[in-house]
């Protein structure tokens, strides 16, 4: 062990309060002091699979916002304890379901009953009617300028199609039977997303954006490569290209087993992937695409584990997925001592690991 | 290619606009309606199910094939002389309380219906009592319980436990499925079967009923 980990409660180490838009309360996270290069530079290296100096930890290295926080668009209160209904900024009905931990399309509702009528019936949200400037400035006040500005812009092409059509079933039938209408809608949607990106980046020097589009079931992708090439990849790539033009690192969040789309993701310019551990073989992906595509691997220790087991697990994740960079992570824990020691271990162990690699 | 083979091919390719006309033509030519149903549609959907299971086709293709079959059945039904002739039993299917995901449940409904069952779709966010109430129908042979979220697995457990207490429990089989569900979990909660995909669900349900 080259670097001594500061002991829990070390008076020379300050903490900061980290909250999440997805849960009530927050955590006192220790501040890592001795960064040999700026956090921003290290993050770029990690996301571009170029030897970073440590594994970026979103808990300590990022300022994070959901799009609603920087736009004022209507959004669910994720801390709500009771079910309730709300409309999103497209006019689609949602129900927040506390027992499921998130919002879902309100059952038996359908905003658009025929995709071929999208031009007459879908009104794209007027982003100029929202106070992006005020919200972005408000959020920036809560940020540490030395950390990454990370904004999750939410629903992507297929997810918006699904939301408008009241669920996956009709949206997928549309993709099979009405490809022209779907293609036209998704092209217009991409134009609109690009305007949203422009609006956010006008006020925030965004480093990192997460784009959300679920493409798979537990066992495979929802759609064939041909269908995605025909309708989805092109508008998605335009969105990612625009992010890149703005100097933004692109993260794709996609649920399900999306292995067959990995080569396409690389071609589209995805930098980091946020995907389901349960449905995907991270080790195989790292092996095959580890020099081109970074993985976000959240530290998810079993809640019953003691401190030593958690630290050992953190080292294992770094060893397995950190090679050559290409690993972005996050560590939070309800036990303050484990949170402290885990944060330090992730930082210092990965520094030792990358130094070893460079030598 | 015989007319029935043409129907099967159109169903497999999801040609909903073609299938009703082909069924009418087959009937006009004197084809046996039961054979049209079994060979032209149910067998075709089995092929679709197999292809889906083997990752040769994807969810949209399966959905449009099932819809094409439905269109054909609408034309065929009057010639079959009543629904009892075409149904091998009744299946009630739903997603558990607290879970609003429907695509997996919808696929299972379509495939089980395509295998010859009369399906009652209970929808999503279904309380355990609703499953039990629906299963009280003496014609029900299969109760399908779906959950997509790990957070709603306890609701699946509660639902299966409630079904297992039903006085007519020996009349129906309880089948479970969904992304986080495993055979081990199904065994633990006392379900009769776990199936990993909609095509397998249809063949297992059919095996339970017709052997």
pLDDT per residue over A193-210, tens digit each?
999 999 999 999 999 999
Q: Which domains does chain B have, with CATH numbers?
A: 3-84 (1.10.1240.10), 87-210 (3.40.50.280)
Task: Flag whether residue A223 sits within 8 Å of chain B, measured between CB atoms.
Answer: yes
Beta-carbon separation of B60 and A105 below 8 A: no
Q: How far apart are CA A47 and CA A325, in angstroms?
A: 7
Two tokens, residue A134: 């005020």
Let me know if residue A10 belongs to a domain. Answer: no
Q: How far apart are CA B20 and CA B12, in angstroms?
A: 14
Q: Using pLDDT thresholds of 50, 70 and 90, give the confidence band for residue B85.
A: low
How much is the mean pLDDT over chain B?
A: 93
Q: How far apart are CA B147 and CA B167, in angstroms?
A: 24
Nearest Cα residue to B93 out of B131, B129, B128, B55: B131
- Total structural domains within chain A: 1
Sequence-ordered list of residues with C-beta below 8 angstroms from that of B37, at least 6 positions apart, any chain? B73, B76, B80, B86
Q: What is the CATH number of the domain that holds A57?
A: 3.20.20.210
* Residue-level pLDDT at A274: 97
Q: Is the dihedral of CA B209, B137, B84, B143 positive or negative?
A: negative
Mean pLDDT of successive 10-residue stretches along chain A, which has 359 residues: 94 91 85 95 97 97 96 90 94 92 91 97 97 98 97 96 95 96 98 98 98 93 96 98 98 96 98 95 96 96 96 98 96 95 98 95
* Residue-level pLDDT at B189: 98
The b/e string for B67-104 (b: 16+ C-beta within 10 A; e otherwise) is: bbbbbbbebbeebbeeeeebbbbbbbbbbbbbbbbbbb
Antiparallel, parallel or unpaired: β A84-87 and A272-275: unpaired
Mean pLDDT, range B17-24, rounded to an integer: 96
Which of A167, A176, A227 minimises the CB distance to B103? A167
DSSP lists the bridge partners of residue A208 as A150, A249
Per-residue pLDDT tens for A342-354? 999 999 999 999 9
Query: Which residues in chain B are closer than 8 Å to A279, comparing Cβ atoms?
Result: 179
Q: Is the pLDDT of residue B38 over 50?
A: yes
Let me know if residue A112 belongs to a domain. Answer: yes
Q: How far apart are CA A135 and CA B169, in angstroms?
A: 57
Task: Flag whether residue B130 sits within 8 Å of chain A, measured between CB atoms.
Answer: no
Interfacial B residues in 168-207 facing A (CB < 8 Å):
179-180, 196-197
Q: Is the pLDDT of residue B53 over 90?
A: no
Q: Is the pLDDT of residue B83 over 60?
A: no
> Which DSSP state fits A221?
B
Task: Flag whether residue A179 sits within 8 Å of chain B, measured between CB atoms.
Answer: no
* Chain B: closest CA distance from residue A208 (Å): 28
Query: Which residues in chain B are closer than 8 Å to A224, comparing Cβ atoms?
Result: 57-58, 61
Query: Containing domain of residue A273, as a range?
Result: 15-358
Let me know if residue A7 belongs to a domain. Answer: no
Interfacial A residues in 259-318 facing B (CB < 8 Å):
278-279
* Residue-level pLDDT at B125: 93
Q: Is the pLDDT of residue B82 over 70?
A: no
The burial class, CB within 10 Å (0-12 / 13-18 / 19+), for A82 is exposed
Let me know if residue A152 belongs to a domain. Answer: yes
Which of A169, A218, A222 minimises the CB distance to B58? A222
Q: By percentage, how much of chain A surpasses pLDDT 70?
A: 100
Which of B14, B58, B67 minimises the CB distance to A221? B58
* Residue-level pLDDT at B205: 97
Let me know if residue A57 belongs to a domain. Answer: yes
Which of A105, A172, A175 minimises the CB distance to B100? A105
| Cα pseudo-dihedral A147, A148, A154, A156, rounded to 10 | 180
Beta-carbon separation of B60 and A220 below 8 A: no
ipTM: 0.86
Question: Would you tell me the crossing angle of helices B59-80 and B3-12 to the nearest 10 degrees?
Answer: 140
Beta-carbon separation of B64 and A173 below 8 A: yes
Let me know if residue A5 belongs to a domain. Answer: no
Q: Is the pLDDT of residue B81 over 70?
A: no
Interfacial B residues in 15-54 facing A (CB < 8 Å):
none
Beta-carbon separation of B60 and A104 below 8 A: no
């Amino acid at each position: 062990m080259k670097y001594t980990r500061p002991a829990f409660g070390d008076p020379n180490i300050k903490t900061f309060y980290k909250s999440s838009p997805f849960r009530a309360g927050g955590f006192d996270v220790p501040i890592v002091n001795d960064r040999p290069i700026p956090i921003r530079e290290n993050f770029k290296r990690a996301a571009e699979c170029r030897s970073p100096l440590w594994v970026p930890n979103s808990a300590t290295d990022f300022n994070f916002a959901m799009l609603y926080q920087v736009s004022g668009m209507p959004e669910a209160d994720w801390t709500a304890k009771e079910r309730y209904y709300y409309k999103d900024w497209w006019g689609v009905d949602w129900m927040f379901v506390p027992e499921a931990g998130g919002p879902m399309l309100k059952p038996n509702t359908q905003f658009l009953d025929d995709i071929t009528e999208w031009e007459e019936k879908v009104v794209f949200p007027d982003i100029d009617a929202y106070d992006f400037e005020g919200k972005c400035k408000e959020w920036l006040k809560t940020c540490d300028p030395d950390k990454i500005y990370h904004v999750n812009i939410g629903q992507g092409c297929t997810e918006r199609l699904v939301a408008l059509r009241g669920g996956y079933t009709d949206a997928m039938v549309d993709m099979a039977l009405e490809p022209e209408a779907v293609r036209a809608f998704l092209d217009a949607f991409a134009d609109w997303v690009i305007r949203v990106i422009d609006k956010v980046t006008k006020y925030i020097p965004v480093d990192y954006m997460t784009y959300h589009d679920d493409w798979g079931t537990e066992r495979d992708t929802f759609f064939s490569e041909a269908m995605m090439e025909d309708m989805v990849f092109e508008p998605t790539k335009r969105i990612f290209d625009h992010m890149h033009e703005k100097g933004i690192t692109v993260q794709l969040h996609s649920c399900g087993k999306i292995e067959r789309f990995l080569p396409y993701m690389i071609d589209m310019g995805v930098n980091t992937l946020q995907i389901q551990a349960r449905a995907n073989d991270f080790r195989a992906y790292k092996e095959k695409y580890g020099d081109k595509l970074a993985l976000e691997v959240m530290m998810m220790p079993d809640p019953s584990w003691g401190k030593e087991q958690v630290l050992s697990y953190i080292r294992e994740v770094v060893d397995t997925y950190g090679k050559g960079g290409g690993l972005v992570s996050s560590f939070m824990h309800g036990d303050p001592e484990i949170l402290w020691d885990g944060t330090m271990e992730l930082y210092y162990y990965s520094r030792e690991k990358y130094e070893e690699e460079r030598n | 290619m015989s007319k029935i083979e043409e129907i099967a091919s159109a169903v497999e390719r999801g040609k909903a606009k073609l299938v009703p006309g082909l069924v009418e033509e087959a009937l006009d030519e004197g084809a046996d309606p039961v054979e049209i149903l079994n060979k032209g549609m149910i067998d075709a959907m089995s092929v679709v199910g197999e292809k889906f299971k083997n990752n040769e086709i994807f969810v949209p293709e399966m959905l449009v094939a099932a819809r094409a079959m439905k269109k054909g059945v609408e034309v065929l039904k009057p010639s079959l002389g009543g629904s009892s002739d075409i149904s091998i039993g009744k299946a009630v299917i739903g997603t558990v309380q607290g879970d609003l995901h429907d695509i997996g449940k919808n696929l299972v409904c379509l495939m089980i219906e395509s295998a010859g069952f009369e399906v009652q779709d209970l929808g999503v966010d279904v309380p355990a009592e609703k499953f039990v109430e629906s299963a009280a129908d003496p014609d029900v042979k299969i109760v399908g319980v779906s959950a997509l979220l790990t957070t709603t697995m306890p609701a699946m457990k509660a639902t299966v436990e409630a079904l297992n207490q039903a006085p007519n429990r020996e009349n129906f089989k309880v089948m479970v499925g969904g992304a986080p569900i495993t055979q081990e979990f199904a065994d633990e909660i006392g379900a009769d079967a776990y199936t990993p995909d909609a095509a397998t669900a249809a063949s297992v349900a059919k095996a339970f009923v017709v052997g």
